[in-house]
Structure 1
Amino acid sequence: MEALTKLDEALNMSPVTFYESPKLSPLKHAFKILASFDCSSTTLTIEQKKESLAMEESLKELADIAAKAVQDNNHLIAKESMKQTITRNLDRNLIRYKEVVSEVKQVEQKLTALSAERKEIFRSCKKMKMELEALGKEWAEHEPKAKVVEEEEKPVEADGEE
């Protein structure tokens, strides 16, 4: 009867608890004891023998289920680790992306400032060119007058030297 009690207790455990339980070896031993009974024995009826065999099958299934649960749990832990790694990488990439966006904005602002400065320099050069052209026209207008004045001064100078 003790063997049947151990089997019943094992069937009521969760698969993971059962699989990790130190009771697994005594349970196997209990099944061996139950299996060794002769069916004609008065200690164990045929119904009890069938029940113990059914329990043994259930125990084997529980062991398989527990092994699968442990394997699934390990797989889940590995996936969780991968998820954390990917999350950290995404966070780092997001931070770097924000830094690059900030740098791009700074470069764009500098380009805008340089473009404005270039336009101002161009306007200034254009203004100076127009002033230079105006001076050139003035020079062209005054040059013949200056030659006339020079020509007029030459005889006066020549008279003063004599």
Structure 2
Amino acid sequence: MAVATLVLLGIVSHYSDPYNAWINLLARVGNVCVFLYILWRAGGKAIVSSLSSRRTNIAEELDSLARRKLEAEEQLKDLQSRIANLNAEREAILEESRAQGEALKASLIAEAQAEAEKIREQAARAADTETKGAVDALRNQIADEIIEAVEASLKERLNANKHAKLIDNALKKVVLN
């Protein structure tokens, strides 16, 4: 009934002889209301559900963004504290590297000194061995020369008779004792 009245009002406003602006406005508002009513009947529930689901989605997205903002702020604070401590960490790492370098240097020096000591001991043993060998060889050579000199001296002093007597006396002493 309201729709029919509005349609009739629209027709009358266009065909009336004296133009009335209020009737024209009322007809236009009525036409808009009829159009909105038709839209509501055709897709009102879909529009309402779409808008309510959109509202829910927006609320969830805002909550998600708020959580992400808090997480980002926490990460920012963490990064700022790490940046503030970066210089101290760098110094600690450098000091640790220096200490490791010094320890490595000391161990290398200790190993080198131990190796040098071993080499010195080996050289001393080799020198002792060579010295003893040289002394033994020299003693043997001197003993051989002394024997040869004594033998030559005895041969000069003893003739064949004296020599035979000396041997006989030595044999008798050995046999009798």
Q: Given the two structures, how large is their TM-score scaled by the length of structure 1? A: 0.39
When Rg is computed on C-alpha atoms for both structures, the one with the higher figure is 2
More helix by share: 2
Q: Given the two structures, how large is their TM-score scaled by the length of structure 2? A: 0.37
